Structure 1
């Protein structure tokens, strides 16, 4: 083309070339998008119409050691709304409120405050029938989601151990929290097509399958759990006590067979839940164990080699002055001199203190540490306390004496039960477990076998000898144990409360082949008595007796069968006369 009269013909040609170049680029891009890079348009189209709806995954089942369900997930319906859409159907709001079981005025105010949002929960955790009733109204802007809600068949009996989940099905207390990663499932997703108004056009299919959580079998035996909970509750009522805890362990495997606490709560209905009722006192509350640690001090004495079971200690006049402190015996029976078993039977503070002075506080501290007092149990339970086992470079007499009879240290009920299980297991420490074990864990010999067996015999005498804790006896079985009574410390100040005690009993059975160890703690009994042998020992007797029978453990203390009497010989008169 010839440009006559053009001052700058090259400019015109440049514009023509640029325009042709742009047309070529646009044409190539159109061909590229439709032929080569068609995923780009598809992705943008899907972004405007394809949606992924989550598929909830239910949590794993929690069972007891025998397969009885302790926590299950049940399907529930969650109703949600798009307030922008629902605003156009204001005439349906009263009917919607009735179907949801809510106050119409409250619902109207809620929708008005969130009018600019596109998502709002209306109700969560409805039964499928309730959800269907709401959706049957066919109100524009009202939709539903399928979720799962945790249900606890044993209710308050296992509440402190199992814990609970929140509204989003995440563990918040107890085993539900401790094993949350194991129990929680992985949600899936379903691909759907929606129009610009959010209406469902097509269900494309499952994009990712939901993975349910893993099942968890606990070491708990639900039969023993019911037994422990019932007897502990009855004991609190009978003794007008403030609270209580009870622990049962398998001596040979270290499995926790029951943990009961009072007061308790219903995890299926937590509307009026009091925070104090949520504490798993057996693992969280620490206390001075009192005379229940005297057998551990006796272990230290025998292990030192300086004392033999036949050795005696003069306890008269049943008091001992140390500086400005005076140690006294509550029971003054048994005479002025006691052997080692007599010290435990009479629970002599003076006798065990004199032994402690001879072997030293360090020896007692070491044995207490070896049997698990003041140590982490390894259970990993949320909020579990370690307690306090004091140690001194140089042990003064006062601290040595108080440690030997259970003051100046703090433990939990499960730590104390672990220590007695170690004595019952012939001095072998087995790690504790809340999960059912197919094979027992490896044990560690922390106390010489012969020493542990000797103390087992002494503790059997505590329950069977005259003047012993006869209320702890179990018909048909030899049992061993020790009672304790400890004054409660004052919160926020030094010293002890007036007329506030913890009554304790710790023991195991059957003595010839120990299988179960148990600890009973009654907090602030308000009845006629507060001594451990009077308050806690009867609870131990009932629970241990029931547990031994439920576990089909053979009796070892049955009375001998009567000898067969020879048949009467008939007289020669035909039996007359």
Structure 2
């Protein structure tokens, strides 16, 4: 049997053996902790990755799905179609035509050319240099396009050319160039060109109104853009349409009171007259007496809104509502109306204008010659400043001012046109004695062509004022009785004498029709604040047919330089041409008396029976 060896205690272990054991034990312990630490690190890393994966897949899934989609999906704006502007018969005056604009993605193009430099672009793509191809299609120098992209390399969208021709857009679309795209937009087109330009105004390249009705009613016309999602490939090309997110809402149409036929007629005659007399400018307003609708509103000079490069700021003004002027003798009918309304005067009342001038408040007021004793009709027929001054002196400044104010002078018409001015009519308490006289024959105040048209329409409408409008009226009409009907009718009757052979405007006569009207020739103020002796403003205000007024037409020609400067020779023939054509186009029946004297020819040549000597102050 083997003998059992006795157990050894620590003291019995050889010294060298103990050292070895302890060393080995320490090494084992240290190795164990290193393994534990490494293992712990791996476990912690695994847990972190698992936690992050859970976070990405659950709590942040929606965010990263959206971000991933954004790398491929794009929200594309759907432009809203701008509403049309049409005349009262539905004829288009302003329409928006769909066009395409070219844009590039400089960031993507920069990446493309970097890949091209490293040779990582396929030969097929390499042979189709996007910028060189685009420059050729747009007829641009390639260097210009390259410089544009280089200077905007951090951008993802940059317009290259707006509103290109459809044929060019088709070629670009077919080329499928990387980093190049087309954006659908609209370009405004004006079929009537310069004929309606100052009234309609124009839009900018983004189809936003900048002047005229386009600016004043921009929000109504513009509509609300929509949005659709598209899918693009790695080269930025659209590969799929993911549907409309928000449909575009087109703008509303504006239906004007303007009749395109009458607008052409008014503009053509006015432009011809301004050119013939080498005048600075002109304006004309044709109005329906019964409704207050403006049937034509012309302004010269004008511009072509279809060619923005040719626009001159001075020509974009709608002078019929923005320019104000001293109306001269065209205000005398309202002085006569105030006289009748005062009860101190009747149509048969007379004024002694001898010796043809009168001194009031230190100023001398003159007629063209001594007309002697005149009744109210005679004052209008001869356009007597002296007669009007005597009336104003008798009825007083307050009565005259109230009458002018009632007819709309010195205040906005409310027509809704941007930039419309209110004219000028100071409070009567500020008038001097001579100022009261001056107001009676159209000096000391300022009016617009539209204001004058609305006031004459009120006379023609039996003293009932209707606020003028540029939009076709379909609802009830609000009328305000501003003067007794019998007084207004009496003044209209008197105004027929003005176009008689003995009046100041025989050239306004129209074959077969009774015409009531009034001339106004006023001196223009110079830069020194003094009235010029060479520069004049001419006005003719007319009503037709006088027996049953339906139309009012105001013609204003500023600073004629060739030929006569009197309104009867400058503005009256233009009135004749416009009104004669209007009466014919609207099929209005003649109302002339059988024994009426033979009228003037269309050219404005005076009749042999007409007294061709200059009469009156207007």
For 2:512 and 2:498, locate their aligned partners in 1 and report how far apart those are by CA, in whole Å.
17
2:569 match: 534
**Alignment of 1:556 onto 2:591:** yes
- Give me the whole-angstrom Cα distance separating, in 2, the residues matched to 1:395 and 1:85: 73
Query: 1:121-520 maps to which residues of 2 (within 5 A)?
Result: 121-194=159-232, 198-332=236-370, 335-393=371-429, 395-464=431-500, 466-491=502-527, 493-520=528-555
Q: CA deviation at 1:113?
A: 2.2
Looking at structure 2, the residues matched to 560 and 394 of structure 1 have their Cα atoms a distance apart, in angstroms, of 49
CA distance in 2, matches of 1:280, 1:264: 9
Offset, 1:153: 0.5
| Distance in 2 separating the partners of 1:394 and 1:279 | 32
Kept in 2: contact 1:245–1:522 (CA 8 A): yes
* Cα 1:324/1:50, change in 2 over 3 Å: same
Query: Which of these residues, 92, 100, 123, is aligned with residue 69 of structure 1?
Result: 92
Q: Which piece of structure 1 moves more, 133-142 or 426-435? A: 133-142
Which residue does 1:8 correspond to in 2? none
Q: Structure 2: 5+ residue runs without aligned partners?
A: 1-28, 30-35, 114-125, 597-618
Task: State the Cα deviation string for residues 127-156 of structure 1 (Å, max 9, x = none).
Answer: 221211233343321111111111000111
Alpha-carbon distance in 2 for matches of 1:195, 1:234: 60
TM-fit CA distance, 1:193: 2.6
Aligned residue in 1 for 2:559? 524
Distance 1:537 1:56, change over 3 A: same
Aligned to 1:566: none
Match of 2:582 among 547, 551, 563: 547
Name which of structure 1's ranges 87-96 and 271-280 shifts more when overlaid on structure 2.
Answer: 87-96
For 2:167 and 2:529, the matched residues in 1 are separated by 59
Give the Å deviation of 1:199: 4.2
CA contact (8 A) 2:383 2:504 kept: no
How many matched pairs?
A: 548
- Change over 3 Å in CA distance of 1:41–1:263 after alignment to 2: same
**CA 1:235–1:141 in structure 2 vs 1: closer, same or farther (change >3 Å)?**
same
- CA distance in 1 between counterparts of 2:338 and 2:501 reads 23
SS of the residue 1:172 aligns to: strand
Q: How far has the Cα of 1:112 moved from its partner?
A: 2.9
Q: CA deviation at 1:403?
A: 0.5
Paired residues of 1:331 and 1:346 also in contact (CA < 8 A): no
- The answer to whether the aligner puts 1:50 opposite 2:86 as a matched pair is no
How big is each residue's C-alpha offset from its partner over 1:502-549, in whole Å with a ceiling of 9 and x where there is no partner? 111011111121111111011111122010111111111111111111
Alpha-carbon distance in 2 for matches of 1:314, 1:292: 21
Alpha-carbon displacement from aligned partner over 1:289-327 (angstroms, at most 9, x marks no partner): 000000011111100001111010000111111243110
- Secondary structure of 1:294 counterpart: helix
Q: Is the 8 A contact 1:135 1:142 kept in 2?
A: no
Structure 1 residue aligned with 2:7: none
Shift of 1:240: 1.8
Tell which structure's C-alpha radius of gyration is larger.
2
Contact 2:94–2:189 (Cα < 8 Å) also in 1? yes
**What CA distance in whole angstroms lies between the structure 2 residues aligned with 1:27 and 1:116?**
37
SS at the partner of 2:271? helix
Structure 1 379/101 Cα, relative in aligned 2: closer, same or farther at 3 Å? farther
Counterpart Cα distance in 2 of 1:482 and 1:182: 39
Q: CA deviation at 1:427?
A: 0.7
Offset from partner CA, 1:428-451 (integer Å, 9 cap, x none) = 110111111113421110111111
Q: Structure 1: where are the runs of 5+ without partners?
A: 6-11, 562-577
Q: Distance in 1 between matches of 2:55 and 2:364?
A: 98
- Contact 2:176–2:237 (CA under 8 A) maintained in structure 1: no
**1:115 shift after superposition:** 2.8
1:375, 1:387 within 8 Å by CA — same for their partners in 2?
Answer: yes
Judging changes above 3 Å, is the alpha-carbon distance between structure 1 residues 37 and 110 closer, same or farther for their aligned structure 2 residues? closer
8 Å contact kept, 2:348–2:376: yes
What TM-score do the two structures reach when normalised by structure 1?
0.89
Partners of 1:409 and 1:352 lie apart in 2 by 15
Q: Rate the CA distance shift 1:109–1:33 in 2: closer, same or farther, 3 A.
A: closer
Deviations for 1:542-562, whole angstroms, at most 9, x for unmatched residues?
Answer: 11111111112111116389x
User: 1:468 Cα deviation (Å)?
Assistant: 4.2
**1:367 deviation in Å?**
0.8
Distance across 2 between alignment mates of 1:107 and 1:426: 68
State the alpha-carbon separation in 2 of the partners of residues 478 and 285 from structure 1: 30
